[in-house]
Amino acid sequence: MNLYSFRDSNIRKTWIIFSLFLIVIIGLGWFFSYAYQDRAILYFAVIFSVLVNFLAYWKSDKIALTISGARKADPQHFVEIYRIVENLSITAGTPAPQIYIIEDVSPNAFATGRNPKNSSIALTTGLIEQLNRSEIEGVVSHELSHIKNYDILLSTVVVVLVGIIALLSDFFVRFSWMGRGRGSDRGKNPVIMIIGIASIILAPIIGTLIQLAISRKREFLADASGVLLTRYPEGLASALEKISVAPAMRKPHNATAHLFIASPFKADSGQKKIPWMVRLFSTHPPIEERIKILREM
């Protein structure tokens, strides 16, 4: 699969996820409206699903940046970072993304946005302070590759939809218990209670599976295509080595973990001592495997 077909695949997957979200939410709305004999629930589900999809497409990048505590980088204070991003953007043939800074000692970075013209790169202060120029160029080229491949559209949309899935699971349970608390016959519907309990169990699993489906393969491709920009595999390989031994980020968030170049959770960093079960549910491939591939290029 070449870069163009991968980009087209990401766009298709995004619309598939949008469609599935609409179907699932409207389907649940129909079920609850039938169970409670209230068509207003179905109307609400339709409006809600459309609004969430609209929000996920147009505002998910801002939501991801806000969740991560990112702030716009001052061009005067981060002159060298702006120069690196602009030079590599020219090489990649894409518009220069906006640059954001995350105050965190752990080196990490991610890209977000709906397309190359509306994209952003967020770098932690730890990455800027601990990595040298060639290593920072390796990380930035990796993130620019995500932008060029339209990975950012798919992965950023997932931030919102996975978050909504978690909120809905909580809503189902509260909705069920509210009915029981009022002593109504409708609230005692055991099917509603089963769905509420099942949603609490399945929601985090579904969210993780969605993240896994989009995260692992794209990291290998972004590593490879990023090296094509710098012509220096060791820069990114060395950066990943430093990132792999760094402590966890101060406030990592499950919804945005798959966006970063490496997992912001220390226990999910891909080190060899990590149990295989933890790796199985990791949003990123093992770092040592990525480094090995880079140094064989």
- 78 and 207 co-located in one domain: no
Which residue, among 165, 170, 164, 162, has the nearest Cα to 196 in the 3D structure?
170
Q: How confident is the model at residue 176 (pLDDT cuts 50, 70, 90)?
A: low
- Residue 279's domain is classified under what CATH number? 3.30.2010.10
- 76-116 pLDDT tens trace: 999 999 999 999 999 999 999 999 999 999 999 999 998 99
- Give pLDDT tens digits for 115-129: 999 999 999 999 999
pLDDT at residue 166 tops 70: no
Q: What percent of the chain has pLDDT over 90?
A: 42
Q: Write down which residue in 194, 212, 230 finishes a domain.
A: 212
Amino acid identity, position 162: V
pLDDT interval class at 153 (50, 70, 90): confident
Same structural domain for residues 60 and 95?
no
Active site residues: 143
pLDDT at 260 over 50: yes
The total domain count for the chain is 2
Residues 171 and 275 in one domain: no
Tell me what percent of the residues of the chain surpass a pLDDT of 70: 74
Please say whether the beta carbons of 286 and 244 come within 8 A: no
What pLDDT digit, counting tens, does each position of 37-74 carry? 888 888 888 898 888 888 888 888 999 999 999 999 99
Cα-based distances in Å from 273 to 218, 252, 286: 24, 21, 11
Locate 172 and state its tokens: 């189902």
Listed residue (231, 218, 223, 222) closest to 91, CA to CA: 231
Residue in 26, 38, 46 with CA at minimum distance from that of residue 186: 38
Cβ count near 40 (within 10 Å): 10
Beta bridge partners, 71, equal: 101
Whether residue 94 sits in one domain with residue 57: no
Give pLDDT, residue 209.
64
Q: How confident is the model at residue 26 (pLDDT cuts 50, 70, 90)?
A: confident
Q: What is the pTM of this model?
A: 0.80
pLDDT digits (tens, 9 = 90+) for 179-224: 544 444 544 566 666 766 666 666 666 666 666 666 667 888 899 9
Q: Are 8 and 48 within one domain?
A: yes
Q: Which residues are annotated as a binding site for Zn(2+)?
A: 142, 146, 219
DSSP result, the chain: --HHHHHHHHHHHHHHHHHHHHHHHHHHHHHHHHHTT-HHHHHHHHHHHHHHHHHHHHHHHHHHHHHTTEEEPPTTTSHHHHHHHHHHHHHHTSPPPEEEEE--SS--EEEEEEETTEEEEEEEHHHHHHS-HHHHHHHHHHHHHHHHTTHHHHHHHHHHHHHHHHHHHHHHHHHHHHHHHTT-TGGG-HHHHHHHHHHHHHHHHHHHHHHHHHHHHHHHHHHHHHHHHHS-HHHHHHHHHHHHTSPPPSS--TTTGGGBSS-SSGGGS--TTS-HHHHHT-SS--HHHHHHHHHT-
Domain shared by 84 and 141, yes or no? yes
Pair 135, 167 in one domain: no
Is 234 exposed, middle or buried, given 0-12, 13-18 or 19+ CB atoms closer than 10 A? Answer: middle
| 138 and 233, same domain (yes or no) | yes
> Are 97 and 168 part of one and the same domain?
no
- Judged against a pLDDT cut of 90, whether residue 154 lies above it is answered with no
- Shared domain for 228 and 168, answered yes or no, is no
> What integer pLDDT is reported at residue 191 of this predicted model?
65
pLDDT (average), residues 247-254: 87
- Return the minimum-mean-pLDDT range out of 11-20, 219-228, 261-270: 261-270
Domain boundary residue, one of 197, 212, 227: 212
Domain extent at residue 190: 3-66+156-212
List residues forming the annotated binding site: 142, 146, 219
Does position 272 have pLDDT exceeding 80, yes or no?
A: no
One domain for residues 131 and 118: yes
Residue 216: its pLDDT value, please? 66
Q: How many CA atoms lie within 13 A of 43 on its CB side?
A: 4
- C-alpha 152/C-alpha 116 separation (Å) is 9
Same-domain status, 145 and 225: yes
